[in-house]
Structure 1
């Protein structure tokens, strides 16, 4: 079901699956500027047998109304959208799954509205863009070496251990990773994953993605997303589950070490997977998520 959701004069794409009486689960996609499309394709039908899945294309992304070039937009808008959606759906409290940058959002949301959330699942999250960018640059370097491009590989390696700030590292990573072309996806996962995109034509996909870049550009300009959330992570009291892929470059070892200090925590590592366990091992992922949401176990 497509739910007609508006907040702050913007239409935001929301899909809902499952029975209203089932435990509610909000999915927050990553990016910034990706979409819930892949998660819905691989998980909505599976998870909605036991849960009420609510998936969102965040403000300004893909099927949501676009953000104009001169329109104000900040990170807080995404947090407020979550809470307004919960209010409109009359959900007392819900569970949240945050993938990648969505994990960053989930932690911010939990800190701002702690009573709105029951449990949190962090799937391959970042809580510190500097740590993540350095690790991504290392992975990018390894792919340049495989291509025989030693100059760019060495540039990535130098940046990964240099003194650049979080914003600079992020920008360098975006610039260099894009030079990998079709090989860029291998940064995130060793496993090719197929999602059926026939729901829209090629032209429709192009039109949907047009303008989405302002989502990232404006968050980058604001700069709040580069603030480390390690203090908020240390103060997290909600039951939480960290899902990581064995080869995921986003949730580096330092993230895991900090998460291991959190009370009421659980953790699972999916072997032979990268940054998208919900796509790479959909059945196992669905089983783990359902067990944790329903029983607090893994």
Structure 2
């Protein structure tokens, strides 16, 4: 690898991407961290679990096109799974890297699997934290059910009014999310509200926001064949880390992925919801490092 520790701006497929490298002196197979969202960033991860991983591994963060500290693409619809896969491959070429481990969280886990399918030879091991299958109705149903378990009586009443309408599931799901305020979203994503508060402080400190453009574009242009139907082709060693109380992507999704990946292991975090890397950070880091050694 020709790059050392530090932050970089690399032009990849006509979009300037933000990169950060940490732990290069470890000289391990690089561990590329793939963030979620879609449309998220690494600001929290690089201040929590990330530095602990970098004590032992060479860690590479990059933020996807139009996300975080990377530039917006030339067009609002210049997002697709195939483009994100191509960006990843071209990024590694620029960095002079032939083989990587990947750690994808939430949507980043889904993208990691898509990359492994497209470029099997460049992926060594895969770590998935609370992975999603965003084009599956199972995720929409999981999230709706998740809100049912934590909503106030007033919220549940309004939610039932939405669900009783004769609308497609995706429209109902969008309306349910529109009802949720920040406090409810924190309860949805986290078991421990002190951790939720810390997470939200970092979100605010970062000044980075999710524009929603990637999510919208990806839903307008989904893969021709659902990822769920292609997972069986992935033979890489894979570790799945999922919170027992995950209301966002849920154990059901992790179990689907585990069932389809012949060389995978699922580890459940008893005290976590969607972010075991924050709620059970020490265990998360230990499990990841043990797997990668």
TM-score by length of 2: 0.86
Contact 1:41 1:195 in 2 (8 A): no
Quote the Cα distance in structure 2 between the aligned partners of 1:157 and 1:110.
Answer: 37
Q: How many residues align?
A: 281
| Residues 222-256 of structure 1 deviation map (CA, whole Å, 9 limit, x = unaligned) | 233x9531222112100001110010121342540
Aligned match of 1:53: 59
Q: Superposed, which structure 2 residues align to 1:23-38 within 5 Å?
A: 23-38=29-44
Aligned match of 1:18: 23
| Residues 105-147 of structure 1 deviation map (CA, whole Å, 9 limit, x = unaligned) | 0111000000010000111111353111101001112333x24
Distance 1:246 1:156, change over 3 A: farther
Contact 2:132 2:253 in 1 (8 A): no
Contact 1:246 1:269 in 2 (8 A): yes
Aligned match of 1:132: 139
Quote the Cα distance in structure 2 between the aligned partners of 1:277 and 1:289.
Answer: 12
| 1:93 shift after superposition | 0.7
Distance 1:273 1:14, change over 3 A: same
Is 1:191 aligned with 2:188?
A: no
Distance 1:157 1:242, change over 3 A: farther
Q: Superposed, which structure 2 residues align to 1:230-249 within 5 Å?
A: 230-249=228-247
| 1:34 shift after superposition | 1.1
| Residues 156-184 of structure 1 deviation map (CA, whole Å, 9 limit, x = unaligned) | 6668xx994xxx52x43233123121212
Aligned match of 2:9: 4
Aligned match of 2:292: 293
Distance 1:150 1:274, change over 3 A: closer
| Residues 206-236 of structure 1 deviation map (CA, whole Å, 9 limit, x = unaligned) | xx437x3222222222233x95312221121
Is 1:65 aligned with 2:66?
A: no
Aligned match of 1:110: 116
Other structure's SS at 1:91 match: coil
Aligned match of 1:209: 209
Distance 1:60 1:138, change over 3 A: same
Aligned match of 1:281: 280
Contact 2:277 2:285 in 1 (8 A): yes
Distance 1:148 1:256, change over 3 A: same
RMSD between superposed Cα atoms in Å? 2.6
Aligned counterpart for 1:122 among listed residues 125, 128, 142: 128
Q: Bigger CA drift: 66-75 or 259-268? A: 66-75
Quote the Cα distance in structure 2 between the aligned partners of 1:178 and 1:70.
Answer: 22
Other structure's SS at 2:117 match: helix
| Residues 250-282 of structure 1 deviation map (CA, whole Å, 9 limit, x = unaligned) | 134254045134222111001110001111111
Q: Bigger CA drift: 235-244 or 247-256? A: 247-256
Distance 1:258 1:80, change over 3 A: closer
Q: Which consecutive unaligned segments of at least 5 residues does structure 2 have?
A: 1-5
Quote the Cα distance in structure 2 between the aligned partners of 1:196 and 1:14.
Answer: 23
Quote the Cα distance in structure 2 between the aligned partners of 1:191 and 1:73.
Answer: 34
Distance 1:176 1:68, change over 3 A: farther
Q: Bigger CA drift: 59-68 or 71-80? A: 71-80
| Residues 37-94 of structure 1 deviation map (CA, whole Å, 9 limit, x = unaligned) | 1111112211111101111221101211123555533221111111111111112210
TM-score by length of 1: 0.85
Quote the Cα distance in structure 2 between the aligned partners of 1:37 and 1:177.
Answer: 24
